[in-house]
Amino acid sequence: MLIIPIKEGENIDRALKRYKRKFDRTKTMKNLRARKNFTKPSVANRAQRIKASYVQRLRTQEEVG
C-alpha cells in the first residue's frame, strides 16, 4: 500500500503526480502483468539474451560512430 503524505495547502494535482511517480517506481503493474501468464524459463532466458545483444550492439555503435 502506497502512502503519500499531503502537505498543508498542497494542490491535489501535485499529490496525485507524486502518487503516480511512486506507483511507477514500485513496478506494481509490471509485476501484475508478469504474473498474469507463465513464461517458460527457456523463453525468459532467450528474451534476456536477445535484449543483452541489442544493448551491446547499441553501445558498440555509440563507441564507433
**Would you place residue 16 in the very low, low, confident or very high pLDDT band (cuts 50, 70, 90)?**
very high
3-state secondary structure of 1: coil
Kindly state the cell numbers that stand for 20: 503516480
Q: Residue 46's pLDDT is what?
A: 98
pLDDT over threshold 80, residue 14: yes
Kindly state the cell numbers that stand for 14: 501535485
Mean pLDDT of the chain: 92
pLDDT over threshold 90, residue 65: no
**DSSP secondary structure code for residue 24 in this structure:** H
19, 6 Cβ separation under 8 angstroms = no
* C-alpha span between 37 and 32 (Å, rounded): 9
Whole-prediction pTM value? 0.51
